[in-house]
Amino acid sequence: MPGKVRVETQQLRAVGNNLEEVAARFDAVLSKVRAASAAHWGKWGDDEFGKSFAKSENGYENSDHNLQAVLASKSALLHSHSKWVTDTANKLELTEFGNTEVFKRLIRRH
């Protein structure tokens, strides 16, 4: 087991920013999917073929809903991880700063 752990907070922030960028890409894809879905919704008609196409268990409506739900959940997960990593970097820096200040005061006393 190593005796030291070293964390580069700038690198943690970079990871947080990268995760946020990927999340933004998911958001953009989801936005395009939603727009395309809305623009073409119901174009299959309400006859027997249209109902079969849209309403069946593996039909368009369920598939569209599932796709949008998956994209939204992945985006939310990436946003959450981005925030967690960035917040962790901030907390580590504050802890380091606080510890440094305490040690400086202790050294000055002695």
Q: What is the pLDDT of residue 42?
A: 93
Residue 105 in any domain: the answer is yes
Residues in contact with 16: Cβ distance below 8 Å, sequence separation at least 6, in sequence order: 82, 83, 85, 86, 89
Q: State the residue range of the domain holding 80.
A: 9-109
Which 3 state secondary structure label does DSSP give 56? coil
78: in domain: yes
39 in any annotated domain: yes
Q: Tell me the pLDDT of the chain averaged across its residues.
A: 92
pLDDT, residue 103, reads: 82
Instruction: Confirm whether 2 is domain-assigned.
Output: no
What is the C-alpha to C-alpha distance for residues 70 and 73, in angstroms, rounded to an integer?
A: 5
Give pLDDT tens digits for 18-72. 999 999 999 999 999 999 999 999 999 999 999 999 999 999 999 999 999 999 9
pLDDT of 1 reads 60
Q: How many domains is the chain built from?
A: 1
User: 60 in helix, strand or coil?
Assistant: helix
The model's pTM: 0.77
Q: What is the CATH number of the domain that holds 22?
A: 1.10.287
